[in-house]
C-alpha cells in the first residue's frame, strides 16, 4: 500500500491498493511522494512524483507519461540535472538548490522550475494540431501560455490569436467559420465563449489544452456549489484563468473574486456586517456574479484559487475567511464545516513545488537572484516576489536581457515597465553567487541560455559541457 505525502494545506491524503481501480470523488487525484512503484498507477508528466489518475482510468498500467515537446525547448544540461535530482530524491523532500560551481561564479539552481504538466500538455496538443491540420486556419483563443518564445513559435507557424491576454478582441468572431480550428489555451475559457463557438459550428473542446489542475478547481467549485456554498475565487480578476474559473463557478453558485489579502479584509467586513451592504456592489464591481446578494450569499462560503497565485497567500486568505465566519456565527472548530467548505485540495502541485523550491533556495547566501519567464506570467511574478523579499532580483525573459557583466534589462512587474540597471554582477574578489529559477511556462533551453550568457561574462562558456558530463 502506498500513501501520498500529506501537507497541512496543499494536498489531499490518498491511499491506493495494488492493482485496484481507483474510486474517488475527485476527477483528478495527485500523489506527491511515496513509493508508487507497485501501485500500477500511470505517472503523468515530467515531475518525478506527480501522479494523475482520471476517474475513467482502470489503473492497470504503469508508465510515465512523457510529452512530445519540440526539442528546441529542451536543455541537455537542465535535463541531466533534473534527472539526477529525481533519482536522488524520489520522495521530493529535499528542496535545497543544485550548486553549479564554476569558480568565479556559483549558480544555485532551484530544485523545481520550468515546464509543468499542464504546460507540456498544452504545447504537445497545440503543435500536434498544427502538424495534423495543414492548410486549415488555426486560432488560439489567446496566448496558449504566458511565454513569448512559445507563443511566437506558434504564430510563426500560422496560428492566430483571437484575443489578447486581457480579453480584448483581436479578430472578430464573425470572421470564423465552422471549418476553422480553435484551440483553448492552458488557462481554460469561459462557458460563454464555449457557447459562442458551439453556435458557430465549432466544437469548443476538440482542441482543448486546459490544464487538468485548473479543471480540478472548477470541479471543486461545482461540488461545493451543490452543497449551497458561495465560491470566493482568489485570483487576478482580469487573468484568463480567473475569468474562466469565475464563469464556470457562477454557473453553479454565487461567486466573488478577491485579488489579495487587502480585498479579503474588505470582503470580511461585509461578512461581519460592519460595512453597509450597498457599498459592496461598487467596491467589488465586475468581481461578483449576477444576482449576488451580499446579505445572503456570504453566509456559507468556500475559497478556491487561480492556480498560479502564491499558495501561501491563498491559504492565508482561506484561513482569514474561515476565522471571520467563526467569529460571525460563534462556531466551535467542529462546527466550521457547516459554513466554510474545505477546499485545500485545489492548490496546484507545480505552483507549490516551485514556490517551496524558491524558499529553499533563499536559505543559501547569495549576491542576487535571477528569475526567468514571460513578463505577463503570474506564477513567475510570484517567484520574483519571494526573491525580492531577501535580495536584489532581476526578472528577465531570456539571456538577451543580460547585456553585459555590468548591465541588464529586467522587468518591474509592480509598475509594468522594463528597467535598465547597471552594476548587475558584483565586482569582488570572492566568487559571485547567483540564485536562478524560472516560471512554469519557461522552456529549460532558455534557462540554459541564461547560464551560458552568465558564464560568457567570465570567459567560462566551455564549462557548460563539462557540467553536462558531470550530471549526465
> 320: buried, middle or exposed (CB in 10 Å: 19+, 13-18, 0-12)?
middle
Indicate the range of 51-55, 69-73, 205-209, 305-309 predicted with least confidence.
51-55
What is the predicted pLDDT for the residue at 340?
98
Asked if pLDDT for residue 28 goes beyond 70, the answer is no
Asked if pLDDT for residue 58 goes beyond 90, the answer is no
What is the predicted pLDDT for the residue at 98?
98
pLDDT digits (tens, 9 = 90+) for 288-342: 999 999 999 999 999 999 999 988 899 999 999 999 999 999 999 999 999 999 8
- In angstroms, rounded to a whole number, what is the distance separating the alpha carbons of residues 150 and 442? 9
| Alpha helices in 35-175, H assignment, sequence order | 76-88, 117-132, 148-156
Of 465, 456, 466, give the one whose Cα is nearest residue 105. Answer: 456
8 A C-beta contact, residue 336 and residue 361:
no
Asked if pLDDT for residue 239 goes beyond 60, the answer is yes
Q: Supply the mean pLDDT for the chain.
A: 87
How large is the average pLDDT for residues 453-457? 98
Q: What percent of the chain has pLDDT over 70?
A: 86
pLDDT digits (tens, 9 = 90+) for 117-156: 999 999 999 999 999 999 999 999 999 889 999 999 999 9
Q: What percent of the chain has pLDDT over 90?
A: 80
How large is the average pLDDT for residues 377-389? 96
| Alpha helices in 115-190, H assignment, sequence order | 117-132, 148-156
The three-class DSSP label of residue 412 is strand
> Which entry of 215, 241, 263, 448 is annotated as an active-site residue?
241
Asked if pLDDT for residue 252 goes beyond 90, the answer is yes
Indicate the range of 63-67, 171-175, 334-338 predicted with least confidence.
63-67
The three-class DSSP label of residue 370 is strand
8 A C-beta contact, residue 431 and residue 372:
no
| pLDDT tier at 348, thresholds 50, 70, 90 | confident
More confident of the two residues 19 and 242:
242
Of 369, 417, 373, 370, give the one whose Cα is nearest residue 398. Answer: 373
Asked if pLDDT for residue 181 goes beyond 70, the answer is yes
Asked if pLDDT for residue 7 goes beyond 80, the answer is no
| pLDDT tier at 63, thresholds 50, 70, 90 | very low
Asked if pLDDT for residue 472 goes beyond 70, the answer is yes
Asked if pLDDT for residue 23 goes beyond 80, the answer is no
pTM of the predicted structure, to 2 decimals: 0.83
| pLDDT tier at 55, thresholds 50, 70, 90 | very low
| pLDDT tier at 113, thresholds 50, 70, 90 | very high
Kindly give, in sequence order, each residue whose CB lies less than 8 Å from that of residue 63, ignoring residues fewer than 6 positions away. Answer: 42, 43
What is the predicted pLDDT for the residue at 456?
97
What is the predicted pLDDT for the residue at 173?
97
Domains and CATH numbers, the chain: 1-66 (no CATH), 71-116+350-471 (3.40.1010.20), 117-199 (3.40.50.11270), 216-347 (3.40.1010.20)
- In angstroms, rounded to a whole number, what is the distance separating the alpha carbons of residues 434 and 250? 45
| pLDDT tier at 349, thresholds 50, 70, 90 | confident
Asked if pLDDT for residue 36 goes beyond 70, the answer is no
Asked if pLDDT for residue 385 goes beyond 80, the answer is yes
Catalytic-residue membership of 400: no
How large is the average pLDDT for residues 238-250? 97
Asked if pLDDT for residue 395 goes beyond 60, the answer is yes
- In angstroms, rounded to a whole number, what is the distance separating the alpha carbons of residues 253 and 301? 10
Of 150, 216, 213, 219, give the one whose Cα is nearest residue 183. Answer: 150
Characterise 377 by phi-psi region: left (phi > 0), alpha (psi -120 to 50), beta (else): beta
| pLDDT tier at 450, thresholds 50, 70, 90 | very high
The three-class DSSP label of residue 394 is strand
| pLDDT tier at 2, thresholds 50, 70, 90 | very low
Amino acid at each position: 500500500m502506498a500513501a501520498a505525502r500529506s501537507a497541512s494545506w496543499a494536498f489531499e491524503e490518498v491511499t491506493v491498493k495494488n492493482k485496484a481501480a481507483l474510486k474517488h470523488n475527485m476527477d483528478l487525484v495527485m500523489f506527491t511522494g511515496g513509493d508508487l512503484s507497485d501501485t500500477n498507477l500511470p505517472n503523468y508528466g515530467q515531475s518525478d512524483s506527480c501522479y494523475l489518475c482520471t476517474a475513467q482510468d482502470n489503473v492497470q498500467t504503469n508508465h510515465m507519461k512523457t510529452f512530445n515537446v519540440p526539442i528546441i525547448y529542451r536543455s541537455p544540461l537542465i535535463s541531466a540535472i533534473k534527472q539526477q535530482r529525481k533519482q536522488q530524491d524520489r520522495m521530493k523532500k529535499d528542496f535545497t538548490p543544485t550548486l553549479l560551481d564554476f569558480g568565479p561564479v556559483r549558480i544555485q539552481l532551484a530544485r523545481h522550475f520550468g515546464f509543468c504538466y499542464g504546460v507540456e500538455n498544452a504545447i504537445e496538443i497545440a503543435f500536434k494540431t498544427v502538424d495534423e491540420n495543414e492548410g486549415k486556419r488555426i486560432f488560439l483563443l489567446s496566448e496558449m501560455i504566458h511565454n513569448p518564445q512559445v507563443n511566437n513559435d506558434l504564430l510563426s507557424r500560422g496560428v492566430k490569436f483571437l484575443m489578447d491576454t486581457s480579453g480584448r478582441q483581436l479578430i472578430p468572431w464573425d470572421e470564423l467559420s465552422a471549418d476553422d480550428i480553435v484551440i483553448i489555451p492552458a488557462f481554460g475559457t469561459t462557458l460563454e465563449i464555449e457557447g459562442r463557438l458551439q453556435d458557430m459550428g465549432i466544437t469548443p473542446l476538440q482542441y482543448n489544452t486546459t490544464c487538468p489542475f485548473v479543471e480540478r478547481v472548477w470541479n471543486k467549485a461545482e461540488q461545493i456549489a451543490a452543497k449551497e456554498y458561495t465560491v470566493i475565487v482568489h485570483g487576478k480578476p482580469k487573468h484568463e484563468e480567473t475569468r474562466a474559473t469565475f464563469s464556470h463557478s457562477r454557473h453553479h453558485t454565487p461567486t466573488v473574486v478577491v485579488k489579495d489579502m487587502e480585498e479579503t479584509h474588505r470582503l470580511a467586513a461585509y461578512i461581519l456586517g460592519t460595512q453597509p451592504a450597498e457599498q459592496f456592489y461598487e467596491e467589488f464591481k465586475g468581481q461578483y456574479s449576477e444576482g449576488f446578494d451580499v446579505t445572503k450569499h456570504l453566509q456559507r462560503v468556500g475559497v478556491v484559487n487561480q492556480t498560479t497565485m502564491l499558495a501561501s497567500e491563498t491559504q492565508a486568505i482561506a484561513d482569514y475567511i474561515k476565522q471571520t465566519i467563526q467569529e460571525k456565527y460563534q462556531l466551535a472548530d467542529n462546527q466550521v464545516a457547516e459554513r466554510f467548505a474545505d477546499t485545500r485540495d485545489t492548490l496546484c502541485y507545480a505552483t507549490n513545488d516551485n514556490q517551496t523550491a524558491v524558499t529553499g533556495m533563499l536559505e543559501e547566501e547569495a549576491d542576487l537572484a535571477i528569475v526567468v519567464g514571460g513578463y505577463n506570467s503570474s506564477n513567475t511574478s510570484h517567484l520574483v516576489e519571494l526573491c525580492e523579499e531577501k535580495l536584489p532580483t532581476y526578472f528577465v525573459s531570456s539571456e538577451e536581457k543580460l547585456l553585459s557583466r555590468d548591465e541588464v534589462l529586467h522587468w518591474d512587474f509592480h509598475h509594468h515597465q522594463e528597467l535598465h540597471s547597471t552594476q548587475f554582477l558584483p565586482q569582488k574578489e570572492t566568487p559571485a553567487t547567483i540564485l536562478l529559477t524560472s516560471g512554469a511556462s519557461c522552456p529549460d533551453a532558455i534557462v540554459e541560455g541564461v547560464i551560458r550568457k552568465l558564464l560568457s561574462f567570465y570567459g567560462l562558456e566551455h564549462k557548460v559541457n563539462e557540467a553536462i558530463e558531470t550530471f549526465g
